[in-house]
Amino acid sequence: MKHLDRISSLFWLFFSIYIFFESIHVGIGRLQKPQAGFIAFGGSILLGILSVVLFLQTFFRKEQADTSGFSIPLWGRVLVMLISLVVYVILFEKLGYLIDTFLLMIFLLSSLKEMRWGWILASSFLITFLSYYMFTKGLGCQFPYGLFGL
Partner 1 sequence: MGFLDNIILGFQVCLSPTNFLFCLIGVTLGTLVGVLPGIGPMGCIAILFPATFKMEATTGIIMMAGIWYGAMYGGSTTSILVNIPGEAASVVTCLDGYQMARQGRAGPALGIAAMGSFIAGTLSVVGLMCVAQPLATLALRFGPPEYLAVMCAGVVIVTYLARGSTLKALMMAAVGIILANTGLDLITGLPRFTFGFEELTDGIKLASIVMGLFGISEVFINLETAFKTDIYKTKYSNLWPSLRDWADSIWAILRGTAIGFGLGSLPGVGPITSSFVSYAVEKKVSKHPERFGKGAIEGVAGPESANNAATGGNLISLIALGIPSNALLALLYSSLIVHGIQPSPLFIKGHPDIFWGLIASMYLGNVLLVVLNLPLIAIWVKVLKIPYHILFPLILLFCIIGVYSLDSSTFDLHIMLIFGVLGYLMRKFGYEAAPLVLTFVLTPQLEAHLRRSLTISDGSFAIFFTRPIAAGVLSFALFLLLSNFSPYLRKGRKKHQAFADEEDG
Name the site residues for partner 1 (rule: CB under 8 A): 1, 4-5, 7-8, 12, 15-16, 19, 22-23, 26, 30-40, 42-44, 46-47, 50-51, 53-54, 57, 68-71, 74-75, 77-78, 81-82, 85-86, 88-90, 92-93, 101, 104-105, 108-109, 111-113, 123, 127, 131, 135, 139-144
CA separation (Å) from 41 to 15, 30, 48, 50, 150?
12, 12, 10, 14, 48
CA separation (Å) from 94 to 21, 72, 91, 128, 129?
39, 33, 5, 17, 18
- Min dist. Cβ of residue 34 to partner 1 (A): 5
The residue among 26 and 121 lying less far from partner 1, judged by its C-beta, is 26
What does R_g of the chain's alpha carbons equal in angstroms?
Answer: 24
User: Residues 107, 96: contact at Cβ < 8 Å?
Assistant: no
User: Residues 68, 4: contact at Cβ < 8 Å?
Assistant: yes
- Min dist. Cβ of residue 109 to partner 1 (A): 6
The residue among 113 and 148 lying less far from partner 1, judged by its C-beta, is 113
- Min dist. Cβ of residue 11 to partner 1 (A): 9
